[in-house]
């Protein structure tokens, strides 16, 4: 109040546009009658008046506003076509103290970048999108836009846009207002002085929402492109009033900023102790044993069965056992379609040396939990190798290798949950390892079970029980 | 380091651990097999430490979010595989040209097209040679164990900042999916905000990040500056691991899971009396051409083993200017060659060598 009307360049602009190449440093590159110049001016005033400029990044999109950073005395970045809301998301998530204006045209926002725009709106990102809708592509010289009106002739709709070929013009504000997350959506026009004053107000509302960190605001600006419309500046304003506004009505579609609490983002921690604790605790290890020196040679183990039998967990438990005793281990799953039903297998290597190939081809120990798996992998068992199989599911094999049979599925069913059959057969594996003199294997395996089922704690005791039942039940059959 | 900091991790998970140790603040990603465990682990661990995890709406969005976060001066990353990397290439070109640091993990699967989720190494060309539009390159690190997935991800962030360049951690589905012991290194302190960043402060208000230069000479200048940087990187950053190469007549060359099979194969070949050695590139750009050139002596030949149609083999041939024979053995479609296959192929090559000499 009481402030004098001042005519001149807003201080949100550079006084001299030094970033603009060529001799013209005082004027913008926009054509006479173009709406971008008006909107730029409104933004340059507002970011200073609202004291947001130091924290502001104005995104220069692909389109006529690609050089917006020539003019604004604020942070500037030019981004790929349509990606402004994604880049803006990166900026404000990485640094929630900054503000960002996603400045976009109708092709950038409504065509190539519609998904990025809608998703940012739907996430309620704390940003203001300035959407310049002039119903035509300016930069690439007059092609059809998603908002081109029915019957409007452009370089790529020379017979006029038709509903049959291109559908109806995209009503962006109406669409965004239908989403839950956005807080403020208004359509204005950069035509008459009255409309421009309404646009100024809407822009400031959007920016204020951002300053208060209330979330996502969209202001759609109907704007003229006299050059590509082949009209004078005055004609294009009349065209907007007569043709565009009836299809794209002006007004506020949504304003719920007052209902929303300010967005607050956590502060990241880099405290060494906290970082290491977070990483270690997620791995679920609670106890480490002493280094085991009793593994005499590299053990290459193959676990195989149906998907759903816990084959991958079985391998993981064996690997975790080795890891807990400072043995080098590798675990490699057959991943993918096998995980979704069908067969599953995994390779586990336990070694005192650096492990070369983690792919187990010459197998020392084969753990088979169904017939097809045993048939498939038994030929890979080396001389002196050991076969462990679930005798509930598999007929005794004809082989000259050492064989341990364990009715793992029966044990599991008796314990009340077929899904612990893998731990039962691991008991048999532990019994085999006894030959390798792994002195504290019971502790090590129990620890491995706890670690593997750390996210399903209710299953830990059951699996430990199954493990011991399996171990006890082992009978050696040299068939 | 405390043995309590030795964890059993999938390669994919280890990359996330490395990122956190490196002080990475933001992860943006989109799910894809066989790289999804990276997003899983990041979604668990980043929020625990107050850092940013956001599942993007697409690969395009994810890389552009990385673009924005990197422009803010923060350590940021994304991860994907094959077809997802194809989608990211537009954004990578911008990041490279704007000279921003960023890390991208690529766990390669079988292609082309939708392909399958088995392991391959067929993203070599699109990752090592630039991949997107324009004359740019990225540094490419090629881990072959879970430990290296962690350590090389940390290195990737350091190199990215040193050279202001996107850095790839490139490996195959096997290394991503396999679990091994990983010893965690000391966590790094938070990166200070570089002076070029759009940090949302008064001091950085006049910074601008752009890749559009209308004047041809200006655009050429930018390109020449990038090429100078790549030449500097090629001089300073070639990394490799060598196994029995000093007296080798047959140098086996491979990266990722293949390099581990090659070491097993070379040991078997030595027992058969064939002087085989292994050269594993750890950096794919810059390619370790100095060491390859030094190995291209009389009587030496090379066998490149790849899980692709033979993409790295071109770089071996260029490095030694085709002065010695470079043979190629490949598997595709998700198949990993067996050690036995590699040994047989090596014997074939070695026999021809004997006949030749």
Give the minimum alpha-carbon distance from B335 to chain A in angstroms, rounded to a whole number.
Answer: 11
Mean local confidence (pLDDT), A375-385: 93
Which of the listed CATH numbers 3.40.50.970, 1.10.10.10, 1.20.210.10, 3.30.1490.100 matches domain A35-259?
Answer: 3.40.50.970
Q: Hey, which residues does B301 pair with through a beta bridge?
A: B250
Looking at the predicted structure, is the pLDDT value of residue B62 above 50?
yes
Mean local confidence (pLDDT), A76-81: 98
Q: Which residues in chain B are contacts of A274 at CB distance < 8 A?
A: 49
Looking at the predicted structure, is the pLDDT value of residue A296 above 80?
no
Whichever domain contains B138, its CATH number is 3.40.50.970
- Is B200's CB within 8 Å of A276's CB? no
Give the minimum alpha-carbon distance from A475 to chain B in angstroms, rounded to a whole number.
Answer: 31
B213 and B252, same domain (yes or no): no
Task: Provide the pLDDT confidence category of residue B5 given band limits of 50, 70 and 90.
Answer: confident
B258 and B170, same domain (yes or no): no
**Pairing assessment for the beta strands B250-253 and B301-306 based on DSSP bridges:** parallel
Q: Which tokens hold the place of B20?
A: 């956190």
Which of B10, B46, B65 is the best mutation test for A, with the most CBs of A within 10 A? B65
Eight-class DSSP state of A436: G
pLDDT at A477: 45
Q: Identify the domain boundary among B205, B236, B267.
A: B236
- Is B57's CB within 8 Å of A95's CB? no
User: What are the strands of the beta sheet with B301-306, ordered from one edge?
Assistant: B240-243, B276-281, B250-253, B301-306, B326-330
Q: Identify the domain boundary among B202, B236, B270.
A: B236
pLDDT at A360: 92
Q: Is the peptide bond before B34 cis (omega within 30 degrees of 0)?
A: yes
Looking at the predicted structure, is the pLDDT value of residue B275 above 50?
yes
Structural domain harbouring B306: 240-356
B30 and B151, same domain (yes or no): yes
Q: Which residues in chain B are contacts of A267 at CB distance < 8 A?
A: 50
What confidence tens digit (pLDDT) does each residue in B95-145 have? 999 999 999 999 999 999 999 999 999 999 999 999 999 999 999 999 999
Looking at the predicted structure, is the pLDDT value of residue A478 above 90?
no
Which residue's structure tokens are 């559908």?
A: A167
Give the minimum alpha-carbon distance from A94 to chain B in angstroms, rounded to a whole number.
Answer: 5
Tell me which residue in A88, A278, A329 faces B48 most closely, judged by beta carbons.
A278
Q: Could you tell me which of A322, A282, A279, A268 has the C-alpha nearest to residue A300?
A: A322
For residue B123, give every residue at least 6 positions away whose Cβ sits within 8 Å of its Cβ, in sequence order, or none. Answer: B81, B82, B85, B106, B108, B111, B170
Interior angle at CA A392, CA A386 and CA A398, nearest 5: 45
3-state helix, strand, coil in chain A (%, to 5): 40, 20, 40
Mean local confidence (pLDDT), A110-123: 98
Average pLDDT, chain B: 96
Looking at the predicted structure, is the pLDDT value of residue B83 above 50?
yes
Let me know how long chain A is. 479
Q: Identify the domain boundary among B218, B236, B254.
A: B236
CB A68 within 8 A of CB A41: no
Alpha carbon of residue B135 to chain centroid: 19
E-only strand ranges, A274-368: 299-306, 328-333, 343-351, 363-368
Q: DSSP string covering B236-282, please?
A: H---EEEES-TT-SEEEE--THHHHHHHHHHHHHHHTT--EEEEEES
CB A471 within 8 A of CB A432: no
Looking at the predicted structure, is the pLDDT value of residue B1 above 50?
no
In order of B252, B290, B320, the CA distances from B300 in angstroms are 11, 16, 11
B218 and B347, same domain (yes or no): no
What confidence tens digit (pLDDT) does each residue in A388-445 have? 999 999 999 988 888 999 999 999 999 999 999 999 999 999 888 765 555 577 788 9
Return d(Cα A54, Cα A51) in angstroms, integer.
8
The domain tally of chain B equals 2
What confidence tens digit (pLDDT) does each residue in B289-323 have? 999 999 998 889 999 999 999 999 999 999 999 99
Q: Which tokens hold the place of A399?
A: 């082989």
Mean local confidence (pLDDT), A13-36: 94
pLDDT at A479: 38
> Does the ipTM exceed 0.85?
yes
Which residue's structure tokens are 């057969």?
A: A425
- Is B208's CB within 8 Å of A316's CB? no
Mean local confidence (pLDDT), B61-71: 98
Helix (H, G, I), strand (E, B) or coil at A237: helix
Helix (H, G, I), strand (E, B) or coil at A23: coil
Looking at the predicted structure, is the pLDDT value of residue A188 above 50?
yes
Return d(Cα A167, Cα B254) in angstroms, integer.
53
Q: Could you tell me which of A130, A112, A109, A111 has the C-alpha nearest to residue A43?
A: A130
**Nearest residue of chain B to residue A84 (CA atoms):** B64
B204 and B250, same domain (yes or no): no
Q: H helices within A326-440, ranges in order?
A: 371-377, 408-414, 421-433
- Is A319's CB within 8 Å of B179's CB? yes
- Is A280's CB within 8 Å of B7's CB? yes
pLDDT at B113: 97
Which of A22, A56, A75, A323 is the best mutation test for B, with the most CBs of B within 10 A? A75
Q: Could you tell me which of A175, A110, A104 has the C-alpha nearest to residue A145?
A: A110
Mean local confidence (pLDDT), A314-330: 91
Eight-class DSSP state of B205: T
**Nearest residue of chain B to residue A350 (CA atoms):** B180
- Is A280's CB within 8 Å of B184's CB? yes
Return d(Cα A101, Cα A87) in angstroms, integer.
11
Mean local confidence (pLDDT), B212-227: 96
For residue A4, give every residue at least 6 positions away whose Cβ sits within 8 Å of its Cβ, in sequence order, or none. Answer: none
B30 and B179, same domain (yes or no): yes
Neighbours of B27 (CB within 10 A): 31
Return d(Cα B309, Cα B122) in angstroms, integer.
7
Tell me which residue in B25, B45, B68 faces A278 most closely, judged by beta carbons.
B45
Which of B19, B26, B53, B72 is the best mutation test for A, with the most CBs of A within 10 A? B72
B56 and B137, same domain (yes or no): yes
* Greatest pairwise CA separation for chain A in angstroms: 104
pLDDT at A431: 83
pLDDT at A281: 86
Could you say which architecture CATH assigns to the domain A273-476? 3-Layer(aba) Sandwich (3.40)
B212 and B266, same domain (yes or no): no
CB B60 within 8 A of CB B92: no
pLDDT at A290: 63
Return d(Cα A56, Cα A61) in angstroms, integer.
16
pLDDT at A473: 85
**Nearest residue of chain B to residue A361 (CA atoms):** B338
Looking at the predicted structure, is the pLDDT value of residue A341 above 60?
no
Eight-class DSSP state of A50: T
Give the minimum alpha-carbon distance from A137 to chain B in angstroms, rounded to a whole number.
Answer: 19
H or E element at residue B106: strand B102-110
For residue B231, give every residue at least 6 positions away whose Cβ sits within 8 Å of its Cβ, in sequence order, or none. Answer: none
**Nearest residue of chain A to residue B92 (CA atoms):** A80
pLDDT at A276: 96
Average pLDDT, chain A: 92
For B260-289, b where at least 16 C-beta lie within 10 A, e where not — what string? Answer: bbbbbbbbbbeeeebbbbbbbbbbbbbbbb
Q: Which tokens hold the place of A195?
A: 């409309």
Looking at the predicted structure, is the pLDDT value of residue A93 above 60?
yes
B311 and B219, same domain (yes or no): no
Domain residue ranges of chain A, discontinuous segments joined by + = 35-259, 273-476
CB A172 within 8 A of CB A185: no
Q: Which residues in chain A are contacts of B64 at CB distance < 8 A?
A: 79-80, 83, 86-87, 90, 116
For residue A66, give every residue at least 6 positions away whose Cβ sits within 8 Å of its Cβ, in sequence order, or none. Answer: A60, A78, A139, B212
What confidence tens digit (pLDDT) does each residue in A454-477 have? 888 899 999 999 999 998 887 544
H or E element at residue B52: strand B52-55
What confidence tens digit (pLDDT) does each residue in A125-179 have? 999 999 999 999 999 999 999 999 999 999 999 999 999 999 999 999 999 999 9
CB B355 within 8 A of CB B280: no
Task: Provide the pLDDT confidence category of residue A289 given band limits of 50, 70 and 90.
Answer: low
Report the share of chain B in percent with pLDDT over 90.
Answer: 96
3-state helix, strand, coil in chain B (%, to 5): 45, 20, 35
pLDDT at B218: 95
Looking at the predicted structure, is the pLDDT value of residue B161 above 90?
yes
Determine phi and psi for B351, rounding to 5 degrees: -65, -45
pLDDT at A439: 56
Return d(Cα A108, Cα A86) in angstroms, integer.
12
Looking at the predicted structure, is the pLDDT value of residue B85 above 80?
yes
pLDDT at A438: 53
Looking at the predicted structure, is the pLDDT value of residue A374 above 50?
yes
Which residue's structure tokens are 């390892």?
A: A433
**Nearest residue of chain A to residue B72 (CA atoms):** A91
Q: Which residues in chain A are contacts of B205 at CB distance < 8 A?
A: 53-54, 56, 73-75
Return d(Cα A185, Cα A182) in angstroms, integer.
7
Mean local confidence (pLDDT), B16-30: 98
B172 and B267, same domain (yes or no): no
């Amino acid at each position: 109040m009481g402030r004098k009307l001042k005519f001149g360049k807003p201080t949100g602009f550079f006084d001299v546009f030094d970033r603009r190449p060529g001799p013209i440093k005082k004027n913008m590159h926009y054509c006479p009658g173009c709406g971008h110049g008006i909107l730029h001016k409104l933004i340059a005033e507002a970011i200073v008046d609202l004291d947001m400029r130091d924290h502001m990044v104005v995104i220069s999109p692909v389109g006529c506003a690609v050089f917006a950073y020539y003019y604004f005395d604020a942070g500037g970045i030019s981004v790929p076509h349509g990606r402004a809301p994604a880049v803006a998301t990166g900026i404000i998530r990485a640094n929630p103290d900054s503000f960002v204006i996603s400045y976009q045209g109708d092709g950038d926002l409504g065509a190539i970048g519609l998904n990025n725009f809608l998703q940012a709106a739907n996430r309620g990102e704390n940003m203001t999108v300035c959407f310049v809708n002039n119903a035509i592509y300016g930069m690439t010289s007059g092609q059809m836009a998603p908002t081109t009106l029915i019957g409007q002739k452009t370089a790529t709709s020379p017979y006029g846009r038709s509903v049959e070929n291109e559908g109806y013009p995209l009503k962006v504000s109406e669409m965004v207002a239908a989403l839950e997350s956005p807080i403020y959506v208004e359509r204005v026009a950069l035509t008459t002085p009255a409309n421009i004053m309404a646009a100024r107000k809407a822009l400031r509302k959007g920016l204020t929402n951002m300053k208060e960190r209330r979330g996502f605001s969209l202001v759609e600006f109907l704007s003229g492109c006299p050059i590509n419309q082949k009209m004078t500046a005055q004609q294009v304003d009349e065209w907007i009033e007569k043709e565009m506004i009836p299809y794209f009505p002006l007004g506020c579609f949504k304003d719920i900023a007052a209902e929303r609490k300010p967005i607050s983002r956590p502060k990241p921690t880099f405290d060494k102790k906290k970082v290491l604790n977070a990483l270690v605790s997620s791995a679920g290890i609670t106890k480490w044993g002493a280094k085991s020196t009793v593994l005499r040679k590299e053990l290459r183990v193959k676990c195989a069965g149906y998907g759903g039998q816990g084959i991958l967990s079985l391998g993981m438990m064996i690997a975790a056992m080795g890891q807990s005793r400072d043995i080098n281990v590798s675990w490699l799953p057959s991943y993918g379609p096998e995980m979704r039903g069908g067969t599953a297998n995994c390779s586990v290597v336990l070694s005192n040396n650096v492990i070369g190939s983690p792919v187990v081809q010459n197998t020392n120990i084969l753990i088979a939990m169904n017939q097809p798996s045993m048939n498939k992998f038994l030929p890979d068992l080396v001389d002196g190798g050991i076969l462990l199989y679930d005798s509930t599911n598999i007929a005794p094999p004809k082989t000259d290798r050492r064989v341990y049979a364990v009715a793992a599925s029966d044990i599991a069913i008796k314990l009340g949950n077929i899904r612990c059959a893998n731990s039962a057969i691991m008991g048999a594996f532990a019994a085999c390892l006894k030959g390798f003199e792994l002195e504290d294997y019971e502790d090590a395996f129990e620890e491995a079970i706890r670690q593997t089922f750390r996210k399903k704690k209710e299953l830990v005791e059951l699996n430990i029980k199954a493990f011991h039942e399996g171990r006890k039940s082992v009978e050696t059959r040299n068939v | 380091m405390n043995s309590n900091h030795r964890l059993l991790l999938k390669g994919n998970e280890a990359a996330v651990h490395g990122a956190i140790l490196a002080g990475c603040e933001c992860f943006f990603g989109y799910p894809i097999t066989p790289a999804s465990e990276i997003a899983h682990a990041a979604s668990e661990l980043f929020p625990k430490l107050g850092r940013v995890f956001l599942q993007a709406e697409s690969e395009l969005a994810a890389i552009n979010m990385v673009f924005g976060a990197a422009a803010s001066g923060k350590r940021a990353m994304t991860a994907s595989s094959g077809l997802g990397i194809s989608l990211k290439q537009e954004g990578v070109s911008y990041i490279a040209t704007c000279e921003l640091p960023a890390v991208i993990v690529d766990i390669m699967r079988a292609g082309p097209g939708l392909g399958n989720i088995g392991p391959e190494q067929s993203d070599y060309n699109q990752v090592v040679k630039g991949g997107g539009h324009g004359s740019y390159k990225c540094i490419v690190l090629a881990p072959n164990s879970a430990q290296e997935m962690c350590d090389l991800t940390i290195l990737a962030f350091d190199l990215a900042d040193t050279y202001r360049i996107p850095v790839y951690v490139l490996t195959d589905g096997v290394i991503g999916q396999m679990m091994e012991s990983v010893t965690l290194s000391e966590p790094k302190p938070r990166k200070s905000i570089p002076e070029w960043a759009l940090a949302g402060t008064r001091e950085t208000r006049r910074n601008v990040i752009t890749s559009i230069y209308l004047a041809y000479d200006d655009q050429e200048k930018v390109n020449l500056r990038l090429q100078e940087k790549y030449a500097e990187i090629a001089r300073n950053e070639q990394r490799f691991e060598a196994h029995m190469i000093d007296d080798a007549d047959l140098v086996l060359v491979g990266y990722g899971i293949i390099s581990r099979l090659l070491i097993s194969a070379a040991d078997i070949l030595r027992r058969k009396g064939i002087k085989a050695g292994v050269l594993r590139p750890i950096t794919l750009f810059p390619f370790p051409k100095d060491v390859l050139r030094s190995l291209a002596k009389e009587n030496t030949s090379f066998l490149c083993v790849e899980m692709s149609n033979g993409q790295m083999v071109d770089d071996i041939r260029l490095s030694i200017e085709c002065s010695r024979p470079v043979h190629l053995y490949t598997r595709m479609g998700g198949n990993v060659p067996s050690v036995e296959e590699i040994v047989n192929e090596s014997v074939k090559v070695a026999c021809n060598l004997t006949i030749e000499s």
